[in-house]
Amino acid sequence: MENIFGSEILIALVTLTFLEIILGIDNIIFISILAGKLPASQQKKARLTGLGLAMITRVALLFSLSLLMKLTEPFFTVLGNAISGKDLILIIGGLFLLAKSTKEIHEKMEGPEEEHKTPKAANTFVNVIIQILLLDIVFSLDSVITAVGMANQLWVMIAAVIIAVIFMMFFSKYISDFINAYPTFKMLALSFLMLIGFTLVLEGLDQHVPKGYIYFGMAFSFFVEILNVKSHARKHA
């Protein structure tokens, strides 16, 4: 029992859980934006289902470590860059995220009048869940690779993923409500997703972008927007 719950393992579990939560923030934002397109009665179910699928995907990948390692073997070369299965998933996922975010921003800029001109039957519960599942696979790669790099025990990796997802399930409603309550934050969140999508494409082309720079930029933009909202509230008080 001491070996299972030794100080080093507990430190690895806590650290990995924290990192899994940080890496899951973009996933929560994406799920919240998609769930917000559904009727209010279905939004909570969509968020919890999306995060549940994220947990299942990550645990399944952890149980398939040998398959995951094979994804790093080069398939072909483009402009001197060896493209592996993992790179293809990152590139396709990044392009999908860029396209989806651009479409969402376009709809926001058009306004409600334009939105009603063309009937949309796409925003069904099943359609939203399929989109969430596709992006869960992409977001899970970063999460699983981080877990493999930080812990040696499979149960530690799985425990960290499960704890992180439960934590995200608890706070997803607050994040979703916050994004929906402030349209400017929703636009900012979509801009973050575009940035993350572009980063995924670069990662797929073996151009490493330090995550710290991206998270700092996101945090700084978020802080500036909070100041703007407070300033706007004072003027209209």
Q: What integer pLDDT is reported at residue 148 of this predicted model?
A: 66
* Burial environment of residue 109 by CB neighbours within 10 A (0 to 12, 13 to 18, 19 or more): exposed
CB neighbours of residue 40 within 10 Å: 9
Residue listed under structure tokens 């790099």: 149
Question: Distance between CA atoms of 102 and 99, rounded to whole angstroms?
Answer: 5
Rounded to whole angstroms, the Cα distance separating 108 from 183 reads 9
User: How far is Cα 41 from Cα 51, in angstroms, rounded to an integer?
Assistant: 17
Listed in sequence order, the residues at least 6 apart from 72 whose beta carbon sits closer than 8 Å to its beta carbon are 84, 85, 86
What pLDDT, on a 0 to 100 scale, did the predictor assign at position 2? 46
Largest interatomic CA distance in the chain: 65
Enumerate the β-bridge partners of residue 84: 74
Task: Please report where in the chains the tokens 């989109």 appear, as a residue.
Answer: 131
pLDDT of residue 5: 54
Please report the pLDDT score of residue 90 as a whole number: 79
Name the β-bridge partners of 76: 83
Using CA atoms, how far residue 66 sits from 41, 144, 217, in Å, is 41, 13, 35
Grouping H, G, I as helix, E, B as strand and the rest as coil, residue 40 is: helix
pLDDT score recorded for residue 196: 80
The single residue listed with the structure tokens 């968020």 is 47
Return per-residue pLDDT of the chain as tens, 237 residues.
Answer: 445 556 777 777 887 888 777 777 777 888 888 888 888 888 888 888 888 888 888 888 788 765 666 667 777 777 677 788 778 877 887 888 788 788 878 877 776 544 444 444 456 888 888 888 887 877 777 677 667 666 667 788 888 888 888 888 888 888 888 877 777 777 887 788 788 888 888 888 888 777 777 777 778 888 888 888 788 777 766
- Containing H/E element for 76? strand 74-78
- Residue 192's pLDDT is 81
Model pLDDT, residue 110: 72
Instruction: Let me know if 32 is exposed, middle or buried by CB neighbors in 10 A (0-12, 13-18, 19+).
Output: buried
